[in-house]
Amino acid sequence: MDIEYILGLEKIDTDIYRGPAVESELIRTFGGQVAAQALVAATETVEAGKAVHSLHGYFLAAGKAADPTVFLVDRLRDGRSFSSRQVRAVQNGETIFSMQASFHVRDDIGPEHSDVMRRVPMPEDFAEGDFTMPVSSRALLEEWGDWEIHVVPPEKYEHNKYTPSQQVVWFRSKRPLPDDERFHVCTLAYMSDMTLLHSSLVPHPGHKVQMASLDHAMWFLRPFRADDWLMYDQVSPSAHAGRALTHGRIFDRAGNLVAMVTQEGLTRTLRPGSQSIPVKTPGSD
């Protein structure tokens, strides 16, 4: 499904928006979709001179992919330099996702520094690879058909010996996207949920788990385009008690650190007969 359609929210009243239902083989709404649509709703209420610099969201209940989602925006603060918004995503009267986002003026100045990108092959230097994910999760690959996703072979880069689980992914939109900075930011919010939680399974090949995003935080640091290659450097510092913590740094191909993501997700050992990520079965429509 085109990202333009996914992010094309309908305004139904002041600070109330509706996101479309998106055709999917998944039963639950993809977490990146809900987060991205919530960010679109928040952005629509903020003056053009401010850009989002951070968001923090909790996935409170499983959304239904076949249903539209209503987004309710609260204007918490509008100051000279910062604006704050709170967004609730609602389906059938139930809040499925809650997010706060902060926006900052574009012309502030201060000290400058940045982490350096890990040395890895460029995306053209190797073929698109498989993900470290349970077989029952691979329906996600079809959901992500509009994106080029290249997992860097682990033998092609130096590993951090202090990090038990790490994965490096190049990704981008296959199609050119509109020349709108806010659109690219919201698109990256969608993309940021791709593959990140699966990085926690790298040290556990073959271990079948139930997977779901629990919370999601992002910081937007520098301008970028989501239709040019971005390198997602992912680590999982901890997995314990059926939950995994993951962290990702996103660089453009020139090596600029453009965004950072932290996510905790459910990685509970799968019960017999269950699916890692629930998908439709024939006749379930």
Partners of 245 in beta bridges: 238, 264
213 tagged catalytic? yes
Which amino acid is present at 138? Answer: R
Sign of the CA dihedral running 143, 191, 177, 253:
negative
Closest CA to 5 of 16, 19, 25, 17: 19
Active-site residue identified among 173, 236, 263, 276: 263
Catalytic residue among 137, 165, 193, 276: 193
C-beta of residue 92 within 8 angstroms of C-beta of residue 68: no
Strands (DSSP E) found in the chain: 10-13, 16-19, 50-59, 69-78, 82-91, 94-105, 147-151, 166-173, 209-220, 230-240, 243-252, 257-269
Question: Cα separations (Å) of 179 from 2, 176, 224, 247, 250?
Answer: 16, 9, 11, 29, 20
**Cα 92 to Cα 156: distance, rounded to the nearest angstrom:** 47
Q: Which DSSP category does 238 fall into?
A: E
Q: Would residue 193 show up in a list of annotated catalytic residues for this protein? A: yes
Catalytic residue among 199, 213, 236, 276: 213
35: three-class secondary structure by DSSP: helix
* Rounded CA separation 282/30 (Å): 20
Could you list the active site residues?
Answer: 193, 213, 263
